[in-house]
């Protein structure tokens, strides 16, 4: 019979382990880790995933702003618009 065991390590990392076998004693978590309930694990994992998505969106926005800046700089330097678009991947001006 397999059982999921959840714990948080001393550095904050989340761990889910599967314990199997007939021994009724659960394996000890690593030094400094604390056993947590599945609900706490799930909530913390959702928070981590939400933070990652926020970070990805921030990076995308920064990259888009940089592309726009590069595109505008190329235009200001006299590079043809079609070439500036190709070089930066930025869409044409409206």
Q: pLDDT digits over 14-51, tens only?
A: 999 888 777 666 777 888 999 999 999 999 999 999 99
Q: What percent of the chain has pLDDT over 70?
A: 93
pLDDT for position 1: 63
Give the domain range for residue 85.
37-94
Number of structural domains (the chain) is 2
Please indicate, yes or no, whether residues 51 and 82 belong to a single structural domain of this protein.
yes
pLDDT for position 40: 97
Please indicate, yes or no, whether residues 12 and 52 belong to a single structural domain of this protein.
no
pTM above 0.75, yes or no: no
Please indicate, yes or no, whether residues 49 and 81 belong to a single structural domain of this protein.
yes
pLDDT for position 39: 97
Residues 52 and 18: beta-carbon distance below 8 Å: no
d(CA 49, CA 94): 36
Please indicate, yes or no, whether residues 44 and 27 belong to a single structural domain of this protein.
no
Please indicate, yes or no, whether residues 73 and 42 belong to a single structural domain of this protein.
yes
Please indicate, yes or no, whether residues 29 and 57 belong to a single structural domain of this protein.
no
């Amino acid at each position: 019979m397999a059982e999921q065991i959840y714990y948080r390590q001393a550095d904050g990392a989340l761990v889910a382990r599967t314990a199997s076998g007939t021994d009724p004693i659960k394996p000890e978590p690593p030094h400094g880790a604390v056993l947590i309930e599945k609900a706490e694990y799930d909530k913390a994992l959702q928070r981590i995933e939400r933070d990652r998505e926020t970070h990805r969106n921030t990076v995308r926005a920064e990259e888009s702003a940089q592309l726009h800046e590069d595109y505008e700089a190329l235009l200001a330097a006299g590079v043809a618009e079609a070439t500036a678009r190709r070089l930066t991947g930025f869409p044409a001006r409206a």
